Structures are given as C-alpha cells and as structure tokens.
Amino acid sequence: MIVVMPNGRASKTLTARDPIPKQWPAFALFEKDLLHDLIPFIDKTYPAQTDRESRAIAGLSMGGGQSLNFGLGNLDTFAWVGGFSSAPNTRSPAALIKDHAEAAKKLRLLYVACGDKDGLFKISQGVHAMLDEKKIPHLYHVIPGGGHDFRVWRSDLWRFAQLVFRDREPDVSSEKGAGTPSP
C-alpha cells in the first residue's frame, strides 16, 4: 500500500495558523491539485495500481471533510472513502453525492466515524442520516466519549485499514456505534 499524506491546502500563502474560514477556498481548490497533479505524479513515480478499485481516500478533521467531498464526488477515481471526525469544509451532506444509485453501486467502502463528544459530531450525524435516507451502504461508527483527538483517529484508522482493499465485499452496516467491523 502506498500512503500519501498531503497538506490539503491549495495555496502558496496560507498556513495551518490562518483562521479556518480564510482557508476554506484553499481546501476546496485542493481537489484539482489532488486529481490533476498529485495522483498522476504518484502513478508515474511509484508502482501504483491506477484503477479506482485500488485507490482509497481517507482523512481526519478537515481532511475527513475533503475525503468525503473528493471521494464521493469522484467515484471514477476512488472506490474506498473514509471520513474521520469530518469537518464541513466544502460541501453540505446533501451536496456530497450527485447520483445516489451510482454511489451505492460503485463504493466498495464508505466509512464515517466520529466521537460523540466531538464538536463536529453533528456533521457526521448529518452525513450518516443522508446516507441512510438515500440508502447508500456505509459503516457509521460512533466512538463513545470520543473527542476531536488522536485517540479517536487512531481507532478510526485502525478500523478503516482492516477493511480497505479487501477482495470480498465488506460488511458495511450503518448501525450507530457498530462494533469492530467484520474483516
């Protein structure tokens, strides 16, 4: 597995110290950089498998929001999508998926998780509610007592990594607080 961890801001002048509202345009612009520059560079430079079934996107906080936005908006590029404590940085839950039937068919795994004490918990709840309403298979995991921190994100990454790139279809129940997903 090749793991790439980019900054996620398409700007020469912004840094993580700038106020988040000022950074939002750079978070959205990163989608173009990711799809047109970074992925082609990785594919050219490393022995990567280039089909959508071999490509995942996942992230935490702002990166979790970007992963949902970019992954669900580019189903011809990503089959595996994970959002951990996702921030609402570019799209609302209603605008995440253009064609719900296509998403249900193409996604191998859609993982949405958040701690129930996280200030962004309502974002994940909203995404989960939309996915349930539109009947998009997904795994929704709530970490009891979890905040916006690395204890939660390590757990999310461990769970997501157990499911990504599996040959058989993963168990993607959408039950709140589902236990450890089936491998």
Report domain 54-183's class.
alpha beta
Tokens 């605008």 correspond to what residue?
95
CA distance 174 to 139: 5
What integer pLDDT is reported at residue 58 of this predicted model? 96
Q: Which of 2-16, 50-64, 133-147 comes out lowest in average pLDDT?
A: 2-16
Measured CA to CA, the distance from residue 64 to residue 60 in angstroms comes to 4
For the chain, strand residue ranges (E) read 56-60, 80-84, 109-115, 139-143
Q: Residues 14-37: pLDDT tens digits?
A: 877 888 778 777 888 889 999 999
Q: CA 138 to CA 63: how far, in whole Å?
A: 19
Which phi and psi (to 5°) does residue 56 adopt? -125, 155
Residue 159: closest CA among 132, 179, 137: 179
- Considering all CA atoms of the chain, what is the largest pairwise distance in Å, rounded to the nearest integer? 44
The predicted model scores a pTM of 0.86
Q: Alpha helix locations (H) across 34-149?
A: 39-45, 62-73, 100-106, 121-133
Q: What is the pLDDT of residues 119-149, one digit of tens each?
A: 999 999 999 999 999 999 999 999 999 999 9
CA 77: distance to chain centroid? Answer: 13
Mean pLDDT in residue range 164-173 = 65
